[in-house]
Amino acid sequence: MDHQSPQPISTRLYRFLGGGNLALILFGVITLLTLPGTFGFGRSLYSNPFFKVVLGLLMVNLLVCTLQRWRRLKWPVLLLHGGVLVVMVGAFLTSLGYVATVNILEGGKTELAYRWDLEQDMPLGFDLAVEKIHREYLPLPVKVGVLQGVEKVGLFTLKTGESFLVGDYRVQVDSIDLDSDSLHLTIFQGERTLGTATTAGVSSLPVGFPYAFKLVAFKNPVLRRTWVDLKLTQDATLLTHGSTEINKPFQWGGLYFYSTLLDKAANGEPFAGIQIVKDPGRPVVFAGFALAGIGALALFMRRLTGKR
């Protein structure tokens, strides 16, 4: 009876690295590791060295599997494999990044943020300042009283953005400040802007202007949009500035700044919650999805036309 000589260890290792058994084991391990993060727990695991090793082994498995079979695979399948591999490379690069969060008072700044992978406050390497918190509301129904001295001249019901006439003047209701329950008004005389005023008594109108304004009532506002003005400095030198809002992060130096929370502190001061994300794998993942999508579409078209 002929006995086949045992294969070299290198050959057996090469076949094992590209085999389905290793792929099943790695997929099972990754599934178990990512379950807590899927439900919002233990997200720091994604930056754990063990998770990175498992992800790296899965990348090697897919690469070796493709190399072992590339002569038998059609180009759409190779493109699909390549796209998935690029996505996994991007995922690995993403695991090298981090997510940090911090709450900053309006007008305040900080050089620290809480790193979720390290579970502690860490320096950002720059000062992050919240210059201004903006809120924009849908046109708001209001009632504006007009006084001339102590005499009531009129009561006007309209929406913010609209205007009314009183005497020789047109009064435009620009916006409402909900912190002070005050309307911001612009007063025109003919085509000329005469000045501005608020129902709280602040005015840039000429001395002797005959009317005063009072906010009588308004309906509950409906928020349309919020955004936060940010400024980044280092040693008193301006690095950059910009705005962030929901689904439109501010980007700088490979970092993404998201506005995640707007609220008030116990003393009534407004603050913004800012999330800082470093994701070096983001463009790589998008490129991988594009490649895999083209490969999958080409494979579908071949099947649809009866090609093998």
193: which 2 tokens? 């802007």
300: which 2 tokens? 């579908």
Kindly calculate the radius of gyration of the chain based on its CA atoms and give it in whole angstroms: 31
- Sequence-distant (6+) residues with CB within 8 A of 130 are 104, 105, 106, 107, 108, 109, 228, 229, 230, 271, 272, 274
Other Cβ atoms within 10 Å of 217 Cβ, number: 11
Burial of 58 (0-12, 13-18, 19+ CB in 10 A): buried
SS3 call for 21: helix
- What pairing do the DSSP bridges indicate for beta strands 98-105 and 109-115? antiparallel
**H-helix or E-strand spanning residue 54:** helix 49-69
- Sequence-distant (6+) residues with CB within 8 A of 251 are 257
CATH of domain 98-136+224-278: 2.60.98.10
Residue 162: the pLDDT is 94
Distances (CA, A) of 73 to 67, 76, 185, 247: 10, 8, 71, 40
Residues of the chain with CATH 2.60.98.10: 98-136+224-278
Strands (E) located in the chain: 98-105, 109-115, 120-137, 141-148, 151-159, 163-166, 169-177, 182-189, 192-198, 212-218, 223-234, 237-244, 250-252, 255-264, 270-278
Residue 238: the pLDDT is 94
204: which 2 tokens? 């840039």
Per-residue pLDDT of the chain (308 residues; tens, 9 = 90+): 455 566 677 777 778 777 778 878 877 777 777 666 555 455 566 667 787 788 788 888 888 887 877 777 788 878 887 888 888 788 778 778 889 999 999 999 999 999 988 889 999 999 999 999 998 888 989 999 999 988 999 999 999 999 999 999 999 999 888 878 899 999 999 889 999 999 999 999 999 999 999 999 998 888 888 999 999 999 989 999 999 998 899 999 889 999 999 998 888 899 999 999 998 888 888 888 888 888 888 878 877 776 65
Residue 130: the pLDDT is 96
Of 262, 275, 102, 258, nearest to 179 by C-alpha is 262
- Sequence-distant (6+) residues with CB within 8 A of 118 are 44, 98
